[in-house]
Amino acid sequence: MIWEVSLIEFIFITGIVGGGAAWMTGRATALTWSPWTTLVIYILLLTLALRFIHFSLFSGTFLLPFSTFATGFYYYAVDFIVLTAFAAFGRRKTRAAQMATQYGFLYERTGPLGWRQHS
């Protein structure tokens, strides 16, 4: 099962709270022209904080207990994938706006996530 305690808890904590923070992290790394590795490091730390919220508020698993390490790592990986998707989407949307705005003489937007060279 993807979620640990309940679907509502997964949607609220991972989707809304964590997804919003991941979106802003992706946006911040795009605005500062940081590399993808910086984004991945930030999302790893954000996922750790999110797992602590699951652990402390909803009796979820965390990475520290050795008896449930495999289970804790599975839910950490699920949260990491979800947060990375939010962060990548926020980064790409911001980068498309940057390219079209700052380099408007070279590029034009092709949609919310893309840009192309002027023809």
Q: What is the pLDDT of residues 73-87, one digit of tens each?
A: 888 889 999 999 999
Domain count, the chain: 1
Q: pLDDT tens digits for 88-111? A: 999 999 999 999 888 889 998 898
Kindly state whether residue 2 falls inside one of the protein's structural domains: no
Residue 113, domain member (yes or no): no
For residue 11, is it within any domain?
yes
Q: Looking at the domain assignment, is residue 95 inside a domain?
A: no
Please indicate whether residue 74 or residue 23 has the higher confidence score (pLDDT). Answer: 23
- Answer whether residue 13 is part of any domain: yes
In a domain, 72, yes or no: yes
Question: Quick check: is 117 in a domain?
Answer: no
Q: How far apart are CA 48 and CA 110, in angstroms?
A: 36
Strand residues in 1-119 grouped as ranges (E): 107-109, 115-117
33 and 94 in contact (C-beta within 8 Å)? Answer: no
pLDDT of residue 61: 79
User: Is residue 19 in some structural domain?
Assistant: yes
The residue segments making up the domain with residue 25 are 7-90
Asked if 52 and 62 count as a contact pair (C-beta separation under 8 A), the reply is: yes
